[in-house]
């Protein structure tokens, strides 16, 4: 009961805000209506472009959907606030099963992103990195991108993480640090799988299509840093 009251009090003072799911696979938005009710909207995606969309009203720590399916068991979700994190889970897996594509889910930890990880700041960090890299200021470029990537690691989708690791590794190559370059690339899925064919077999078709260019870049950079 105490946690429900605390969560209600937190929501009562918060402005419309967007949380990001760990792993960069979705968002939770909480807003206040003119009458003081608390609304939620969740939008997520999983493998092979499967998605999940649900919205409703928050009562204490319980979320009830706006449009429950008539004649079906009602899907209710639990939202528990812990500092800057909202943990979301279905009260009944069976009742909520039909809300998502086969490879998508909505449960998990949704984090209020720190200032440096919000879209505008992330874009600025990447643009600064690119400008420094093109200007051959490799150490500064590496520091800018590495600082951003470290701060926002938990909110990056794994494909974005691998693209970032390639950028960092290539910068290390230009800094005459081939061993560091190889160590950075070793953290990617492509390096773990070792061949493009293995990557293709590991991923769902649409995921492979989206990741193939990054995998190819990884294999190219591995050869570059192995010379």
Domain coordinates in residue numbering, the chain: 2-111, 115-226
Q: What is the pLDDT of residue 98?
A: 81
| Chain-centroid distance, C-alpha 66 | 26
- DSSP 3-state percent helix, strand, coil across the chain (nearest 5): 50, 20, 25
- Name all contacts of 28-36 with Cβ < 8 Å and 24+ positions apart: 28/86, 28/88, 28/110, 30/58, 30/86, 36/12
* pLDDT tens string 97-110: 888 888 999 999 99
The arithmetic mean of pLDDT across residues 157-171, rounded, is 98
Supply the pLDDT for residue 71.
Answer: 66
The CATH superfamily of 115-226 is Tetratricopeptide repeat domain (1.25.40.10)
- Average pLDDT on 109-134 reads 97
Residue 57's H or E segment, with its range, is strand 51-59
Instruction: Compute the mean pLDDT over every residue in the chain, rounded to the nearest whole number.
Output: 91
Tokens matching residue 15: 């402005």
pLDDT at 145: 98
pLDDT bucket at 11, cuts 50 / 70 / 90 = very low
pTM for the whole structure: 0.86
Q: With b meaning 16 or more CB within 10 Å and e meaning fewer, what string describes 124-159?
A: ebbeebeebbeeeebebbbebbbebbebbeebbeeb
Q: Of the given ranges (2-6, 63-67, 84-88, 166-170), which has the lowest mean pLDDT?
A: 2-6
pLDDT at 97 (0 to 100): 81
Residue 67 pLDDT exceeds 80: no
């Amino acid at each position: 009961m105490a946690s429900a009251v605390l969560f209600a009090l937190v929501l009562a003072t918060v402005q419309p805000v967007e949380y990001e799911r760990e792993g960069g696979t979705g968002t939770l938005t909480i807003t206040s209506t003119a009458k003081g009710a608390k609304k939620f909207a969740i939008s997520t995606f999983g493998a092979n472009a499967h998605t999940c969309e649900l919205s409703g009203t928050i009562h204490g720590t319980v979320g009830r959907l706006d449009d429950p399916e008539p004649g079906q068991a009602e899907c209710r979700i639990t939202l528990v606030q812990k500092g800057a994190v909202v943990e979301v889970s279905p009260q009944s897996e069976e009742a909520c099963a039909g809300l998502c594509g086969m490879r998508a889910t909505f449960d998990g930890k949704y984090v209020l992103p720190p200032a440096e990880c919000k879209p505008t700041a992330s874009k600025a960090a990447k643009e600064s990195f690119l400008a420094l890299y093109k200007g051959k200021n490799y150490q500064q470029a590496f520091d800018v991108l590495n600082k951003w990537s470290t701060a926002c690691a938990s909110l990056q989708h794994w494909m974005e993480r691998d693209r970032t690791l390639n950028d960092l590794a290539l910068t290390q190559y230009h800094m005459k640090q081939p061993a560091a370059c190889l160590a950075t690339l070793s953290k990617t899925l492509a390096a773990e799988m070792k061949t493009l064919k293995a990557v293709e077999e590991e991923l769902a078709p649409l995921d492979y299509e989206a990741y193939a260019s990054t995998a190819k870049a990884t294999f190219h950079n591995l050869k570059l840093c192995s010379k």
